[in-house]
Every structure is written in C-alpha cells, then in structure tokens.
Amino acid sequence: MDSGANPQRGNRSVAQRARFFSFRRPSWPVILRVRDRHNLKNYIQLNLRLLYWILIAPFTGQFFKIAPIFRQMVFIGVRAAPMVALTAFSVGVTLAMQAAHSLKELGAEMYIPDLVMLTLLREMGPVLIAVIVIGRSGSAVAAELGTMKVSEEIEALEVMAINPIQYLVVPRFLAMLVMLPALTIFGNYIGVFGGWAVCTFALDFNTAGYVLRALESADTWDLYSGMIKSAVFAWIVITIACNAGLHVEGGAEGVGQATTASVVQALLAMLVVNAVLTGIFFFAA
C-alpha cells in the first residue's frame, strides 16, 4: 500500500517544487532591467566624479596633469583629421550636386551655396563628424580602458592611491571636449570647399560669387548652434565610452561586447540629443 501511494505523493511534491522554483527564477526582461538600471547608475556616478575632478578638485590642490590631455588630443582629434576631411569633402560635393539637380529645374542655382553652407553648419557637420569620432576614437577609448580593466591595471592604480577617474578619464574627456568642436569647424571648411569645387567646375560659378553668397546666407547663430551640438556630442561620446570601458566584465569577450555597446549607445544618444537640440533651437528662434 505504501509503495503504491508514495510515488504519486512524491511526484506531486516534485511538481510543486518545480513550479515554486520556476516562479522564483528571474526572467530575461527582469535581468535586463536590473542591468540597465545598474549601467545608468554607473554612468551618472561617472559624470558626477568628472565634474568633481574638473571643477572642484583643482581648488583643493588636486590638479590634473596637462601633458596627458595633449596626448589624448593628438590621439582623438589630430589622427582623425584625414577621415573627417574626406567625409566632409564628400558631403559638400554630394550636397552641391543634389541641390543643383533640384534647383536647376526652378532656375534657382544661385541658392546652392546657401544650402551647402547652412546644412553643414547646422546639421551635417556636427552629426557626421561626431559619427566619425564615435567609430574611430570612441570605440578606441572603450577598448583601451576595457583592456586595462581586464588586465587589472585599473586596480593597480587604485592600490598605488591613484584615482582612475583623474588619471584616465579626465584627460580623455577634456581632449574630446576640445577636439570635436575643432574637428567640426575644420570639417565645415572642407565641406564648403567641396561645394565650391562642384559649383566652380560644373556649374560655372566664380569663386567670389560663391564665397559671398555662402557668407551672406549664414548667420552667427548658425555657427554657434553647431558648436553647441558638437560640445554636447563630445560629452556624450566620451562619457559613454569611458563608462563602458571601466565596467568591462568577462575577459577579452567582454571587451569586444563593451566596445560594440559603447558605439551603439553613443550613436543612439547622439541622434536623440541632436533632435532635441534642433527642436530647442527651432522653437527658440
């Protein structure tokens, strides 16, 4: 009798335990939400520590070194200049040719310099150059810091009483904050030059007329709005890259995943912020 009743009772208890543990097992959406909340917390803490080391620490005698900033400016900005120049020139040529195709039917070819100048200053210059910097410099920063994290070099800095934020993040942050607007100005000049090449050699514009028309169409605020966007993009790109690199887990595979995640997150954040800033400038004007 006992041998006949016990299997059913045992099966029932096993099924109940299985249902109990199945309810207790966290689902993937819950895990992802917890991970995203943790990443957001790390990102906010990184920004607060950056502000402390840049704005408050120098007044307490804790200065950051200048030489690493210039090294990072060369790495982040100067070495990216050829890619920026090629991209900006291609965009300027493409804008001029597309505008010429559409405006020629309306007899409004004289407005091609206006379109090239305003589009580069307001939108295409800051956005496309930020994309180039994200793909080249942002990913490199995330991979470099991630490799240092995996090889325990960051822990070694902490053992030597060197703050990783002050030593590693602050120079990269300041270098990006300087070089991305500088690259944007450089790219704007190259893009306008690309438009000039099309207008001069294909549309019979003279140089003086092209330059005069382009300068008359642009306002000072057009340049300022692009510089504001570039500065905000620089902040977003470098903080996302540094946050991804400083919190790498899982060895070499984790470095690759963190680098990919930093590029994707920086691109999405940059595009969303660009839309928000464009809306603010549009309604403020």
pLDDT for the residue 36: 66
pLDDT per residue over 29-63, tens digit each?
554 455 667 778 888 899 999 999 989 988 888 88
pLDDT for the residue 23: 46
Q: Is the pLDDT of residue 177 over 60?
A: yes
Q: Is the pLDDT of residue 131 over 80?
A: yes
pLDDT for the residue 17: 53
Q: What is the pTM of this model?
A: 0.83
What would the mean pLDDT of 243-271 be, rounded to a whole number? 89
pLDDT for the residue 26: 52
Higher pLDDT, 9 or 218: 218
pLDDT for the residue 20: 45
* CB 252, CB 150: distance < 8 Å: yes
Which DSSP letter does residue 123 get? I
* Structure confidence at residue 178 as a pLDDT band (50, 70, 90): very high
